[in-house]
């Protein structure tokens, strides 16, 4: 994603890229209400792409950040699978 879009994301900036991410999350929410698997997958991909773009702009390694917080076990109960009560 960085190689593909960093030049455009840099021009758009953090705020504009964040706003795109929010819009894509809304579109994912709409897709989840439907039954079109292909459309839902496409929206997941868009959310991932915009989240990646935002992380790149903030110089955040998304994979590293995710694995630091969720190292194959729940950060709250330290279990895998998680045994925390549903809330
Ligand atoms: Zn847990």
Q: Average pLDDT per run of 10 along the chain, which is 87 residues long?
A: 90 96 98 96 97 96 95 95 94
Task: Say how many Å lie between the CA of residue 82 and the centre of ligand 1.
Answer: 4
Signed CA dihedral, 24, 25, 29, 31: sign only? positive
| Three-state DSSP state, 58 | coil
Task: Say how many Å lie between the CA of residue 74 and the centre of ligand 1.
Answer: 5
> Taking a C-beta distance cutoff of 8 angstroms, is the pair 38, 49 a contact?
no
- Count each helix (H run) and each strand (E run) in the chain, helices first: 3, 0
Task: Say how many Å lie between the CA of residue 76 and the centre of ligand 1.
Answer: 5
Distance, in Å, from the CA atom of 14 to the CA atom of 39, rounded to the nearest integer, reads: 27
Q: What is the pLDDT of residue 37?
A: 96
Q: What is the pLDDT of residue 1?
A: 86
> Taking a C-beta distance cutoff of 8 angstroms, is the pair 35, 41 a contact?
no
Q: What is the pLDDT of residue 38?
A: 96
């Amino acid at each position: 994603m960085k190689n593909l879009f960093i030049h455009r994301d840099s021009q758009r900036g953090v705020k504009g890229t964040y706003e795109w991410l929010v819009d894509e999350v809304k579109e994912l929410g709409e897709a989840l209400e439907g039954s079109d698997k292909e459309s839902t997958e496409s929206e997941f991909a868009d959310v991932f792409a915009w989240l990646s773009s935002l992380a790149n702009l903030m110089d955040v390694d998304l994979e590293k950040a995710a694995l630091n917080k969720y190292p194959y076990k729940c950060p709250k109960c330290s279990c895998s699978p998680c045994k925390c009560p549903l809330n």
